[in-house]
Amino acid sequence: MSFLFSLSFERYTYGKTIDGGFHCRFGIKKDESENNAGEIEFIKGLEKTGSVKEGHAEISVKMSDLSQKLNSTLEELEATQAQFYIAVTVTDILSGEVQESEAFLPVVLSPYNVDLSRTRSFYTPTFPFQAVVTIRHPNGSPAEGIQVNLDVSSTKEKSVDIKTNKEGIAFYIFNLEGTPPSVSVQATVDGFKSTKEVHPMKSTRNSFLHLSITSKVLLPENSLDITFFSNCNPEDGKIYYMILSRGMLRSASSVASSSEVKIAIHISPEMIPSFRVIGFYYDTNGDIIADSVWVDVEDKCEGKLELKLHGYHKYQPDDTAELDIDVGTQKNAKVALLVVDKAIYALGAQNKLTPKQVFTSMQSYDLGCSYAGGENTAAVFNDAGLAFISHSTTIRSMMRKGAK
């Protein structure tokens, strides 16, 4: 078995391709942490050299040579989150100019990352239980159309096979048999397994509220159907709910209660990239009964902006370029323009701002630490990023002392 690496060298800014030779070294980067950049241990005797023609070259590394020269097994390297290091030096045969580049590849044993974090850690007794698994490639991109086996103990269905959607998510609703002290959830993809233990939610008087939604990624301006299930009658006949996004309360309302209530929520731009719905009611003893869900919204900028060149020309220095800017139906829109010479990215594009970085920053304002529910009513609010004050003697909010 061999690893084949394809090297592609960009053209010079004036259009010429590179012809010459390359020298390649390999290593392992270990012990990387927040306060430690990690050290690179070069693998001696694994250097490669070759020729570059029209900006392209290929390198082949045998698995047997790699295993022989490493002091650790691949299993040990994966457990320590080590990275495979490649450093390439290329020399242009005509100009003698030397260029260098490097890359880090994570060491993984599975072609997929099987993640059960979106499955509730605490199930609601007497209500259906939804198992959610997310399948990603090692680079973090979603794995679409992958067959997943979901096995959930203490259920009527026991085991089902289902395929992931375009977001790499597969989910199925199971019917629990009784109220087991723990439920084992196992997701298997191509022999690789991930397991999670789920426990029942606690209530002093066996009063519960359960929120049910779709696990699909939703689009802005769509509507989300939310179903509230309750097993007792609220004291005032109402179920209250709040919508939080980016650490702010976006809306709050109530609905007349029954054993099953369905509402539709309009997804506004303020709910991007995600939001939380917290539902609660007061039982006949005045205690709060609550549940929550986390909803993923497709990363999409508010408004519209299209930028096009007016006509097509081969521009020369001192020429003037006309731009067509379309902002759609937005009124009084301001557009900031920044012109960057593409050659600057030859020095490194690691600081180039991307939409993903923007939405990741927006997501950091979410103060919650779970995808749904909690061990009890207090945990439902606390895990959604909220603190509360109540007259109840059985429910106490836990104040956070720092980031959780």
Q: Does domain 2-106 have CATH number 2.60.40.1940?
A: yes
Average pLDDT of the chain is 85
Q: How far apart are CA 373 and CA 363, in angstroms?
A: 19
Instruction: Report which of 393, 371, 376 is spatially closest to residue 385, judged by C-alpha positions.
Output: 371
Q: 237: pLDDT confidence band, cut at 50, 70 and 90?
A: very high
The pLDDT value recorded for residue 228 is 95
Q: 367: pLDDT confidence band, cut at 50, 70 and 90?
A: confident
What confidence tens digit (pLDDT) does each residue in 77-135 have? 887 888 888 999 999 888 888 888 888 888 888 889 999 999 999 999 989 999 999 99
What confidence tens digit (pLDDT) does each residue in 51-83 have? 999 888 888 888 777 777 877 777 788 878 888
* Residue given tokens 């942490």 in the structure block: 33
Instruction: Report which of 220, 276, 284 is spatially closest to residue 257, judged by C-alpha positions.
Output: 284
User: What's the CATH superfamily of 206-404?
Assistant: Macroglobulin (MG2) domain (2.60.40.1930)
Q: What is the CA radius of gyration of the chain?
A: 27
Q: How far apart are CA 76 and CA 94, in angstroms?
A: 45
Q: Can you spell out the DSSP letters for 303-331?
A: S--EEEESS-----TT----EEEE-TT-S
| Per-residue pLDDT at 350 exceeds 70 | no
φ, ψ of residue 66 to 5 degrees: the values are: -65, -45
Q: Name the CATH architecture for the domain at 110-200.
A: Sandwich (2.60)
Instruction: Report which of 220, 224, 215, 218 is spatially closest to residue 262, judged by C-alpha positions.
Output: 224
The pLDDT value recorded for residue 315 is 78
Helices (H) and strands (E) in the chain, counts: 4, 24
Q: Do 183 and 152 touch, CB atoms closer than 8 A?
A: yes
Domain ranges in the chain? 2-106, 110-200, 206-404
Domains 110-200 and 206-404 share a fold: yes
CA end-to-end distance (rounded Å), the chain = 44
